[in-house]
Amino acid sequence: MKFKTEQELGKKAVEYLNDRKWEVYQEVVCPAGVADIVAVQGKIKWAIECKLSLSLAVIGQAVRHCPYFHYVSIAVPYSNSRSEKSVAVAKEFLRWKGIGLFRFCNSDYGWYDQPLSLSPKLNRKAMAHLIKLYDEQKDTVGAGSANGGHFTPFKKTSSEIQRIVKLNPGIILKDLIEQAGHHYGSDSTAKQCIKHYIKTGIIENIKMERDGKFLRFYPVKGEK
């Protein structure tokens, strides 16, 4: 049975990694774009791109991830009809770049083609500290999703702000920032951006009211 979508392939890859005790995050926004899967063990971060064919596009995406991850791999379906000569050429390039290759078969028993796989090389100089991970990325969107909806640091900040304001109607900006936290480089930047996004409705269901020298924040009436 063939994989019908990249999401089906991504699910198989996630199951494989979970079985081997990797902590898996899906559709992670990274400096080089969105990684279908980021798997973590200890300090090691591993990016895996899931595609239905071993194309130049997916190889290029994997190459762009290389500076930021300790390991980078590509996951594609296994197919007897695929030209093994083409796969061999691709594997030579991947081996040169240190990128690994998975070839999954869509079967009930999770068959994995180990002899035809390629192990990734460890990048000890990876700028992995730039990869921010959140629990919501574990199951908000499945790996390989074509529908967007990626969980981002901005969404995390926004949801925390909405939660804190609903719990503390009339909270002032300074206390809101301290309690909600944020992804910005400084508190001063966070204050300016949060005010702007609330005023323009990008952060929804919150209103601002001036109280002397303070700005106070309230949930929009009727919001639960």
pLDDT recorded at residue 96 = 95
In tens, the pLDDT along 71-109 reads 999 999 877 655 667 778 888 999 999 999 998 877 655
pLDDT recorded at residue 118 = 87
Architecture of the domain spanning 153-219: Orthogonal Bundle (1.10)
Predicted TM-score of the model (pTM): 0.71
pLDDT recorded at residue 4 = 85
In tens, the pLDDT along 65-76 reads 999 999 999 999
In tens, the pLDDT along 119-169 reads 999 999 999 999 988 887 777 666 766 665 676 777 778 888 998 999 999
Helix 84-97 crosses helix 56-65 at what angle (to 10 degrees)?
Answer: 20
Cα separation values, 141 from 121, 191, 199, 209, Å: 28, 29, 29, 36
pLDDT recorded at residue 171 = 92
In tens, the pLDDT along 21-48 reads 999 998 898 888 889 999 999 999 999 9
| 194-209 CB burial, b ≥16 within 10 A, e <16 | beebbeeeebebbeee
Query: In the chain, what are the domain boundaries?
Result: 6-138, 153-219
pLDDT recorded at residue 114 = 47
| Average confidence score pLDDT of the chain | 85
pLDDT recorded at residue 113 = 45
* Beta strands across the sheet bearing 44-50: 23-30, 33-41, 44-50, 71-77, 100-104
Can you name the CATH fold of 6-138? Answer: Trna Endonuclease; Chain: A, domain 1 (3.40.1350)
